[in-house]
Amino acid sequence: MNNLDPQALECLAAIVEEGGFERAAQRLNITQSAVSQRLRALEAQAGTVLVVRSRPLRATAAGQLFIKHTKMLRLLRADLEREWRDIAPGHEGSGGEEEGVSVAINADSIATWALPALDSLARSGAPVEIFADDQAFTQDWLRQGQVMGCVTSMNQVLRGCRMVALGSMDYIAVATPDYAHAHVPKGLSAHNFHRLQFVAHNRKDFIPREFVAKAFGLSAPTLRRVFTPSSTAQVRVTQAGWGVGVLPRLMVQDLVDAGELVHLLPSYSHWVDLYWHCWNLDSDVLANLTLALTDAASLSLRAPARG
């Protein structure tokens, strides 16, 4: 497909990113009619619908592909302008839409080791946008072109992307001393887990079930679960005695050492391998982001297996 209009592509991205035609027009400083005209022209050139006019508005698969292309162009343009400013210090740039540092990261990594990796970018004024999801689902954000990279437990490389192993995070089963004494005085076992309530992030969080399955050699255990909206909330409700938390050791080891929580199965840790996936572009932003994340992971995660 030749000669795609850059203004029309930016218009499509603005419609989806801002969630509507009116806000896209405000962002681009054009009329709402002009936004509609540019989108119609782009859809005519593509020969397909790019935006579903629903509530909420969303991009079609073709629209997601075009938006991903637009974001990549922004990133490459930003790299070019940085390098050009080094050569011609008086150059002020094109003034076009700047591509932010958009990443999808699993909630437990956000709560423990990942945010320091973004410090220098955020403090430099880069527009950082972080999307939180379960580690098995963050790759969907990259597949759809909504982010430039993701931290995920998936190790299959998407087309047009590259992957770096970050390391492994271990999870342990904990509860308050009172809860443990009342429900599992001899510790967690294959015979009593079904009587307990487990704390989970949401219905996509399979860590508690995977912990029980692997710890006791079960194929598909059924758990009673209570759901909380964040990793820190999971810790809080576990401390409040709501049930058993299968939580990152990084978050709860100090509480175990202090006696506020007890380790219900000291003989077992559940290890989750994490990977960084990003667009396969020759970009300073992506290179620096990849280095920052791998450095931060090396300080907190078990080193990835070699070979």
Percent of the chain with pLDDT over 90: 69
Helix orientation angle between 6-18 and 32-46, rounded to the nearest 10 degrees: 110
Cis peptide before 304 (omega within 30 of 0): no
Structure tokens of 124?
């430099």
pLDDT tens digit sequence for 113-138: 999 999 988 888 778 999 999 999 99
> Is the per-residue pLDDT at 291 higher than 80?
yes
Mean pLDDT in the chain?
90
pLDDT for residue 87: 56
pLDDT for residue 81: 67
Q: Where in the chain is the domain with CATH 3.40.190.290?
A: 100-307
Q: Where in the chain is the domain with CATH 1.10.10.10?
A: 1-99
pLDDT tens digit sequence for 141-187: 999 888 999 999 999 999 889 999 999 999 999 999 999 999 999 99
pLDDT tens digit sequence for 49-98: 999 988 888 899 899 889 888 888 888 877 766 665 555 555 454 545 55
Instruction: Give mean pLDDT, residues 280-305.
Output: 92
Instruction: Record the pTM.
Output: 0.81
Domain 1-99 class, CATH top level: mainly alpha
Q: Give the start-end residues of each E strand in the chain.
A: 51-52, 58-59, 101-106, 128-133, 149-152, 161-175, 197-200, 224-227, 244-248, 262-263, 270-279
Domain 100-307 class, CATH top level: alpha beta
282 pLDDT band (50/70/90 cuts)?
A: confident
Rounded Cα distance, 262 and 173, in Å: 8
- Among candidates 141, 164, 105, 161, which has minimal Cα distance to 283? 161
Residue 106 neighbours by CB under 8 Å, 6+ apart:
132, 133, 134, 135, 138, 151, 152, 153, 274
The region, left, alpha or beta by phi > 0 then psi within -120 to 50, assigned to residue 230 is: beta
